[in-house]
Amino acid sequence: MSALPQVVRDPALPERVTIYEVGPRDGLQNEKALVPTATKARFVRRLVDAGLPVVEATSFVHPRWVPQLADAEELVDALLDDLGDGARDLPVLVPNERGLDRALEKGLRTVAVFGSATETFARRNLNRGLEEQFAMFEPTVRRARDAGLDVRAYVSMCFGDPWEGQVPPAQVVEVGRRLLDLGATQLSLGDTIGVGTAAHVGALVDAFAAAGVPVASLAMHFHDTYGQALSNATAALRHGVTTLDASAGGLGGCPYAKSATGNLATEDLVWLLTGLGIEHGVDLSALVETSVWMAGELGRPSPSAVVRALAGGDEA
């Protein structure tokens, strides 16, 4: 697992990129078999040890909606025992004020809310309409910011919706700007069903810039449903985006959108960034070993092309 790509630096691209690891939350949330809390804690620890600068640990969602994440408090306790106070910097998703209360009780310092760019998905995922979602987010974001927390805002269905079809960039920008106006410190724009293409990515970033939203406020969250995630990541880099979401081993999907398959694999993204000479701070060998281990825990091979290439016969 020592192979690395030849580095060919493109000076037009950012010098450094932050990889926002979502595997423990977004990657595992759709798993039907419950993953033991101790396994999740070890997964997070191994990702941190591999050099990932941001690892989203879990979600304080009601267990009825996502049973896989019903152990959020227990997981945070295990991480505090293992990582100490640093575990309080690991982001968690909070769907509403009750979720925020649970995060505050644990002394956590970074939370995320999850919005929608479309009416139908807002109804299906949040049980609220496109407009109504902001009334739910407002007190959650305000209270979090008043408590000194950073707040990330995910926006799903930014590139297409399985029920509504094409999503106008202006509609995505309107949702994103309103979340920033509420106090969110970063927007993660999600290609939830993986239908985006490179030029579409650039057009959306340009639309935000034209609306006065700095590119530094934006992150991108790509799914590889149609094999476009790496192409889209490269397009985002060319438009100045320096935070990219990814999931170790390519784990993940969305429980409320059946067409949402796996996230962009962190290993595939690390290989791309390494070849482009972009700093990221991640130990690829340690990351691959972690995904091979987690694939064994889940009982199936990793969908990541880089994991398959580097792990050889070691995969589950």
State the catalytic residues: 254
Strands (E), the chain: 18-21, 54-55, 58-59, 92-93, 110-116, 150-156, 186-191, 218-222, 243-246
Phi, psi of 219 (to 5 degrees): -125, 160
Give the full edge-to-edge strand order of the sheet including 110-116. 54-55, 18-21, 243-246, 218-222, 186-191, 150-156, 110-116, 92-93, 58-59
**Cβ-based neighbours of 212, under 8 Å, separated by 6 or more:** none
Looking at this protein, which amino acid is placed at residue 61?
Answer: V
Phi, psi of 183 (to 5 degrees): 125, 0
Pairing of strands 186-191, 150-156: parallel
202, 171 in Cβ contact below 8 A? no
Alpha helix (H) residue ranges in 147-265: 169-182, 198-210, 229-238
